[in-house]
Amino acid sequence: AYYALISPLSQFANLIQKCVDPSFYNKDTFLCSIDMLPCGVDWQCHNIHLTEGHVQTENLELWFRDPLKCIRELLNNLTFCDVTFYLPE
């Protein structure tokens, strides 16, 4: 535990925490800020149940987006129309 407190990674994390001034104050305002972002392709969730042996079990959530819908959205987005090329230059 002592090494975790004095490790360079922990010191760097403290530096980030002290030097960054985020636009949110807690997790609720952070999630509210995320909800205000423009929506894209819907997220999908699959629940996965892992069993290792007789005692260890774990329920996981796998979140993902349909890659084909993501590509379709990028190609149809007018923001990128001036920088999207379909042939080599």
0.85 exceeded by the pTM?
no
> What percent of the chain lies above the pLDDT cut of 70?
87
pLDDT for 5-34, tens place per residue? 567 777 777 766 677 777 778 889 888 988
Is residue 77 within 8 Å of residue 69, measured between CB atoms?
no
Kindly state the average pLDDT of the residues 63-74: 94
Does 50 score more than 60 pLDDT?
A: yes
H or E stretch covering 39? none
Question: What's the confidence (pLDDT) of residue 17?
Answer: 66
Question: What's the confidence (pLDDT) of residue 16?
Answer: 67
